[in-house]
Structure 1
Amino acid sequence: MVTTDRGRVAEVAARLAAAGVPTPAVDARWLVDHVVEVAGSCDGCGGALLDGLVARRAAREPLQLVLGRTWFRELELRCAPGVFIPRPETEIVAGVAIDEASGLDAPIVAEPCTGTGAIALSVAVEVPGARVVATDLDPAAVDLARDNLGRVLAGEAGPPLAADQVEILAGDLLAPLADDLRGRLDVLVSNPPYLPAADRDRWEPEVADHDPDRALVGGPDGHEVVGRLLALAAEWLRPGGLVVVEIDERRGEDARAAAVRAGLVDVTLVPDLTGAQRAVRARGAR
């Protein structure tokens, strides 16, 4: 990101700060540079465009939706209202899956709760021999993930991808997968809904007003979908296959216990860059 108009950035940052935006300076640079990229400058029509985008961000619409895009590892992905926006910490979860798949010959990878397709597409472009099957229960997410897949295939979003490498299916968790994949998955990776319903009143407007509830709340307890995925992992992974599931940082020990109850082995917790327990990682029993 190269800032081209520092004075305009300062004006935008002041406006965003007054509206309570948590990162006004960073967001201001993104907005100004986006307008320069799209309109050529922040004058005339560009100025009107910038004013409208700043108003949306000041109203606490997420920056990714204002820009219509986000960056995840090596990819530039489209974002759309009603579909969960991938967070930087999820790149760590994707990285665990990618590291595992990279050491295998033609690995089979499944990613339930795909949202924008960020994890699935990252695995596919960074592990060229991988076969990746992604699913989502939400039709809007399936449509967006397929759109992002099309952009990657067209060379518009990042590194190249083989045409038949990724499949995106509609349905609940692993239910859409072909039955012949049962017991054959090399990697199962997911960022599922994992927050308790009681957390709703604590969310910032960017989350509460824009991320879909169904992508955030795992149920009354919050851990319901994580528990289901770990149980499914024991059934769908090949012996020694890897599962990595993003979790609520407050529920690390619960996730560890759920993995053990499911019959998984080599259970560990994966920290993020802040040291928070970001994911549970385990293997299918050998």
Structure 2
Amino acid sequence: MPRPEVDPDVVRRVAARLEAAGVPNAGVDARLLVEHVVEVAGVTAGCGGALLDGLVARRAARVPLQQVIGRTWFRTLELTCAPGVFVPRPETEVVAGVAIDAARTADRDRPRVVDVGTGSGAIACAVAAEVPGVDVVATERDPLAVALAEVNAQRLRDGQAVAGGPARGATVTVLRGSLLDPVPPAWRGKVDVLVSNPPYLPAADRGTWAPEVGGHDPDAALVGGPDGHEVVDRLLQLAGAWLRPGGTVVVEIDDRRGRDATDAAREAGLAHVRLVADLTGRDRAVAAVRAR
């Protein structure tokens, strides 16, 4: 879909307001805000008025752009965003990509993928959008996130999140519960890909985050515990019991903890352990395989 035509003077005025408020990448956010108002207001050139002023004021107050406009983009998807639910990050697209590649190469017609702690449903929906015949189960304990993930899963089915809807024959199911507790018992030992972007920051990091993060992302989606990697370690321990032989686990990690994550994967008895770098070169995930 082509980007809407906007008045560059309006964009510059909005950018100046955002820059004065300390908003990072003020010029980019300004254009996205103006484009959003052009789209929803149904105009083709400049825009202004109460709608734009209200959105700019919220962004200047450091509400995340994705929550201000109510949407974000993740790989091929346009996802709905909502207050109180973790906003998916571009670096997590790399994590989803590893899961997608592993699911595509699974040696059966209907690969099974579990996305643990799905949040908005970004990874689960990306897998279902890009892997034909896949069955995805997404788990989440937070009720706000469960509701949003269900919205995004339905938007995928309806062809609103991506043109054409899910890949041929693909399904995605959102289940409420902690970690792997809601996954059907029949899937135990038969999962092809276990993927997660869990909370992985240490408690000591609280107070160091940008306002968009500390003031709006839920703490439970950020902090894994005093050490930070408690949930990462637990998922790696569970992976061997839930994966089928040759199945893959990929878990997003604190980029400062690559060595700890690979050690934990090896201690869990997993094979072919490796780190996955994001587009900035930082360690973004640990990936491993259940030995055959």
Q: TM-score of the superposition, structure 1-length normalised?
A: 0.97
Map of 1:113 onto structure 2:
117
1: CA distance, partners of 2:58 / 2:132:
39
> In structure 1, the residue corresponding to 2:206 is in which secondary structure?
helix
Map of 1:83 onto structure 2:
85
1:27-67, Cα deviation, whole Å (9 max, x unpaired): 00000000000113499985210000000000000000000
| 1:160 equivalent among 160, 165, 171 | 165
Q: Is the 8 A contact 1:40 1:46 kept in 2?
A: no
Q: Is the 8 A contact 2:10 2:46 kept in 1?
A: no
Alignment of 1:1-286 (within 5 A): 1-2=3-4, 4-41=6-43, 46-104=48-106, 105-158=109-162, 159-161=164-166, 165-286=171-292
* Residues 55/223 of structure 1: CA separation in 2 closer, same or farther (3 Å cut): same
1:194-239, Cα deviation, whole Å (9 max, x unpaired): 0001101110000000000000000011000000000010110011
* Residues 226/64 of structure 1: CA separation in 2 closer, same or farther (3 Å cut): same
Cα displacement (A) at 1:178: 1.1
Q: Is the 8 A contact 2:38 2:47 kept in 1?
A: no
1: CA distance, partners of 2:287 / 2:93:
15
Aligned length: 286
Q: Is the 8 A contact 1:3 1:32 kept in 2?
A: no
CA RMSD of aligned residues (A): 1.6
Partner AA of 1:8 in structure 2: V
Residue ranges of structure 2 left out of the alignment (5+ in a row): none
1:77-134, Cα deviation, whole Å (9 max, x unpaired): 1001110000000000000010111123311000001001000010001002101000
2: CA distance, partners of 1:21 / 1:93:
27
Q: TM-score of the superposition, structure 2-length normalised?
A: 0.95
Cα displacement (A) at 1:150: 1.1
Identity, in percent, stands at 65
> In structure 2, the residue corresponding to 1:240 is in which secondary structure?
strand
> In structure 2, the residue corresponding to 1:202 is in which secondary structure?
coil
Partner AA of 1:264 in structure 2: L
